[in-house]
Amino acid sequence: MKTTTMKTTTMRKLFFAILAAGLLAGCSSEPSKPAASEASKPKAPEAITGSSALYKCYISARGWASDAQPFRAESRVAADSNGHDGKAGEWRVGFASPSLRSTKFYTWANDDISHGVDDTYSPTNSSTQVFNVQFLKTDTDKAFAASQQHGGDALLQAEPNIPVLYVLDWDRQKNELLWHVIYGIDRETAKLRVAVNASTGDFSRVEK
């Protein structure tokens, strides 16, 4: 009888010893580190259309001056965006404020907006002719499609690596808002330049 009782006591002690060791090991071990979150990873380069970039910059410009109006928008050459779909990874938009007599450029790049310094504004300067954003009804993807039908398609078939740039401004002579679709790295050396009405989406002219 005593032998049985001693065995039972020994088994209980062994059980509690194993249990205590397991609890101690669990408390002393370091918690597993969570995997790196998606938010910590760098964002992939983003490309958007000209109208989208202009309106994003317009919101920021209205914080600078309540009467700010755009006078120019232009895309920039980027290694990750050739402009063939009407999109660009960087856009620069100029605004003018008659009340402040100043202009300011805003730059959109990868969903971030920055701005330059103020410059003097003159309403008689043709290069800073402001326009109402309500005239902008055709985006750059549609402007690109229109320009493709007037020489762009043949050019890209021959030279598929040519970047396409976009410039938006007001044409005083024709009194219309134009997208200038530029096949090349700049306006001066472009292989082709096509003007498309930014209100109607209609082809305007091939520019010399």
pLDDT of residue 208: 85
* Six token digits for residue 69: 């109006």
CB 92 within 8 A of CB 50: no
Distance separating alpha carbons of residues 164 and 51, to the nearest angstrom:
16
CA angle 85, 137, 112 (to 5 degrees): 60
pTM above 0.85, yes or no: no
Extended beta strands in 9-60, E state: 48-49
pLDDT in the model for residue 43 = 63
What tokens does 88 get? 């660009």
pLDDT of residue 77: 86
List 98's β-bridge partners, or say none: none
Distance, CA of 40 to CA of 21 (rounded, Å): 38
99, 67 in Cβ contact below 8 A? yes
Ranges of residues in the chain whose predicted pLDDT is under 70: 1-44
Q: Residues near 198 by Cβ (< 8 Å), separated by ≥ 6?
A: 135, 136, 137, 138, 143, 168, 176, 177, 178, 179
Q: How far apart are CA 64 and CA 5, in angstroms?
A: 89
| Angle (nearest 5°) at CA 86 between 83 and 91 | 70
Tens of pLDDT, residue by residue over 8-19, are 444 444 444 444
CA–CA separation, 58 and 113 (whole Å)? 10
Which pLDDT value is given to residue 79? 79
The pLDDT, as a whole number, for residue 38 is 52
